[in-house]
Amino acid sequence: MSLLSEINTDQLPNHIAIIMDGNGRWAKSKGLLRSIGHQNGAKTVKEIVETCAKINVKYLTLYAFSTENWNRPKLEVELLMKLLISSLKKEVKTLQKNNIKLSTIGNLNSLPTKVAKELKDVIEKTKDNNRLTLTLALSYGSQEELIKTIKEISLKVKNNLISPENIDKSVINNHLYDHYLPDVDLLIRTSGEQRISNFLLWEIAYAELFFSDILWPDFNKENLFEAILNYQNRERRFGKTSDQLK
C-alpha cells in the first residue's frame, strides 16, 4: 500500500525544497559514467515534480546547479548544461499538461547563452500555469544571494530610498532572487549527507529538515511521501511553546 494513503492532504507543506544529491555516487556504485547518473537523476526529477503537482504541493524548488558546481570538471559541466537544455525541451509539454509554472533563481547571467534562451522560452510558455510553481536553482549560492541583497539595499540607503530604521524581514525578502515565493516548509536532502550546502539559508530559517540516505536517482514518490509524513508528525512551534500552540 502506498504511503500516500497516510498523508493528511490538509497539512501538506506549502513549499518543498530539495537538494538533489548522489547522481555521481549512484553511477560509480554501478560502474557507470557520472553522465549516466545525471541522466537517471533527470528521470527522478520528472517523477517528483509530477507527484508534487498531483498531490497539490504549491511550490517546489530544486537545487539543480550551485555556484560551486562551476568548479567541477569542464566536461561534466558541459554535459549538465546539455542535459538541462534537452530536459527543458522534452518536458515543456509535461509542464503544460500538469499546469506547472517554471521559474528560476540564481546568477543566470553566468549560464551559457543556449541554456538561458531555453529557460526563458519555457518560462514564457508556462507563465500562466498555477497548479505548481517549479523553481530551478541554477548557478545559485545563498551566500552570493545575500551579498547581492546587502549591496542592493545599501545602495538604496545611500540614495535615501530606504531608511536604515525601516530595514526588516520584508525588505530583505523583497531583494532575494525568490522574493515571489513563500518560506520553505520542508527541506529534503538525498544521499545521506547532512548539510545545507549554501542553499536557501535565509528561506529555510524555520523549515523542517529531512535527510534521506537514498541516492537521488533511486529517490521515488514513496520516499517523498515518507518525508512528507515525517514533516506532518513534527510540531512546528516557530519559537513558541507547545502550550501556546494548543
- Active-site positions read 21, 69
Helices and strands per DSSP (H, E), number in the chain: 8, 6
Q: Yes or no: say if 215 and 190 are a contact pair by the CB < 8 Å rule.
A: yes
Instruction: Give me the DSSP letters along 101-161.
Output: EEEEES-GGGS-HHHHHHHHHHHHHHTT--SEEEEEEEEE-HHHHHHHHHHHHHHHHHTTS
Distances (CA, A) of 215 to 26, 51, 223: 6, 18, 11
Residue 59 CB neighbours (<10 A): 23
Q: Is 66 helix (H, G, I), strand (E, B) or coil?
A: strand
Helix (H) or strand (E) holding 81: helix 74-97
Strand partners, 15: 59
